[in-house]
Amino acid sequence: MRFFRRKAKEFYGLDVGNGAIKLAELRRDLQDNTLALHRFLIRPTPPDTVENGVIKNEEKLRGAIKALLKDFGARTLTVATVLTGQNLIVRQIDVPKMTEEEFRKVLQLQADSYFGIPADELAADFQVVRELTGNRMLVLLVGSLKQPIVEFVDLLHSCGIRATRVDIEPLAALRSLRMSGALAAATANETTVVLDMGAGTSNLSVFQGEELQMVRVITVAGNDFTRDIAEAEQISWQEAEMLKLEHGVVPASPVYPHVQQTLQRLLRQVSISLEYYQVENRSALIHQIRLIGGSSQLIGLVEALAANVQELFARLELEAPIVAAGNPCAHLELATTAAAAQELGPILAVAVGLALGEVAADATD
């Protein structure tokens, strides 16, 4: 009998969003320990199937995921995943120093006071950020309603997909940028903002160093621009989507009068969030803002956000942060089968971050 040593190990990230389902495969060469994005798939989420992290039509979503799995050439798959758009409750609390096992019991008993959600309805996790003086510690809490997550994991299982971990979108997003090299490591007081613009919602996450400080779900996203164009021009959704992708939010474009109000509403909501954080944390200056997600690639959006941020920080008498697209695939090694990811990196960012989380977990096993 001959025995063969494995030459590679695969890690998978599955990002199910309102507008698209993204699957990324990272492959580590076990001989030279290199890591590459080996392949990926992006498929549209059927309309009215997922809304803000809640499954609205299980049958349609199941069919779409099974079709994606078939196109991927797999009957079963083990993935890290996320249900994009779900409202998260993020808290940082100062508590007496204790073991993680002890704090988990405390969290179970005090879930209602921390999150306003009864423990039996809550999916929560925590991370000890650092030790404080006076025998205390700072803890990051993240919570959301449990039922949508349970339903999602069960649906994946019925498709042949086993979810080893359900991550939260902000951490997967930052991980994709940090671990790929698309975003340099930050100092403890340096603040990074990641704006993940999807089809149904836009998630704005604020990190001080590597610590998640704030998450805000903004209800303005890609579908709003498409709807504006469809209603103004009285055309189909598909036609409006094509016009949106062709012209974006450039002021000189023929569709700009249709999308201008929605663009200003988005910029205003982003500015409110940035100003709130910066006024409360003047010693932790926002250094950079990175845009990811399918709608982040709208022509003219980065420029519009950069001009808006410049105006805000001039008013605050602070140096404006760098605003740019976040593209992990511009820095990861790409297999020939994944060469197209160079242009699609912002869309694949969360899926790549999920897979990178599995790489990191495997390294510590």
In a domain, 213, yes or no: yes
Task: Tell me, yes or no, whether 281 and 203 share the same domain.
Answer: yes
Residue 345 lies in a domain: yes
Residues 53 and 120 in one domain: no
Indicate if the pLDDT at residue 6 is higher than 70.
Answer: no
The verdict on 266 and 305 lying in the same domain is yes
Model confidence at 86, pLDDT cuts 50, 70, 90, reads low
- Output the six-digit token pair for 216: 């805000």
**Burial grade of 185 (CB within 10 A; 0-12, 13-18, 19 or more):** exposed
Q: Is residue 1 part of a domain?
A: no
Inside any domain, residue 310? yes
Q: Let me know if residue 2 belongs to a domain.
A: no
Range of the domain at 237: 185-325
Same domain, 244 and 313: yes
> What local confidence, expressed as pLDDT, does residue 336 receive?
81
Say if residue 169 is in the same domain as residue 204: no
* Residue 41: both structure tokens together: 């798939």
- Is 233 in the same domain as 308? yes
Minimum mean pLDDT among 188-197, 298-307, 314-323: which range? 188-197
Q: What is the dihedral of CA 13, 360, 38, 221, to 10 degrees?
A: 40
Residue 120's CATH number: 3.30.1490.300
Number of independent structural domains in the chain: 3
End-to-end Cα, the chain, rounded Å: 30
- For the stretch 317-358, pLDDT in tens is 999 999 999 999 999 999 888 888 989 999 999 999 999 999
Q: At what angle do helices 169-180 and 341-364 cross, to 10 degrees?
A: 100
DSSP-derived pairing of the beta strands 286-292 and 50-51: unpaired
204 shares a domain with 140: no
Does the pLDDT of residue 140 top 90, yes or no?
Answer: no
Give yes or no: residues 96 and 80 share one domain: no
Could you tell me if residue 273 is inside a domain? yes
* 254-269 per-position pLDDT tens digit: 999 999 999 999 999 9
- Kindly tell me if the per-residue pLDDT of 185 is higher than 80: no
Q: Are residues 207 and 343 in the same domain?
A: no
Average pLDDT, the chain: 91
Q: Are residues 158 and 19 located together in one domain of the fold? A: yes
Same domain, 24 and 167: yes
List CB contacts of 352: < 8 A, sequence separation 6 or more. Answer: 13, 24, 26, 37, 176, 180, 328, 329, 332, 345
Looking at residue 1, what is its pLDDT? 46
251 Cβ contact partners less than 8 Å away, ≥ 6 residues apart: 300
Between residues 185 and 45, the one the model is more confident about: 45
Any idea what the CATH number is for the domain that residue 159 is in? 3.30.420.40
Residue 115 lies in a domain: yes
CA 39, 181, 361, 62 torsion-angle sign: negative
Tell me what pLDDT residue 186 has: 75
Within the chain, strands assigned E span 8-16, 20-29, 35-44, 50-51, 54-55, 77-83, 89-96, 122-132, 136-145, 161-166, 191-197, 202-208, 211-218, 286-292, 322-325, 333-334
Are residues 215 and 280 part of one domain? yes
Which band of pLDDT confidence, cut at 50, 70 and 90, is reported for residue 175? very high
Asked if residue 18 is part of any domain, the answer here is: yes
Q: Residue 146: its pLDDT value, please?
A: 86
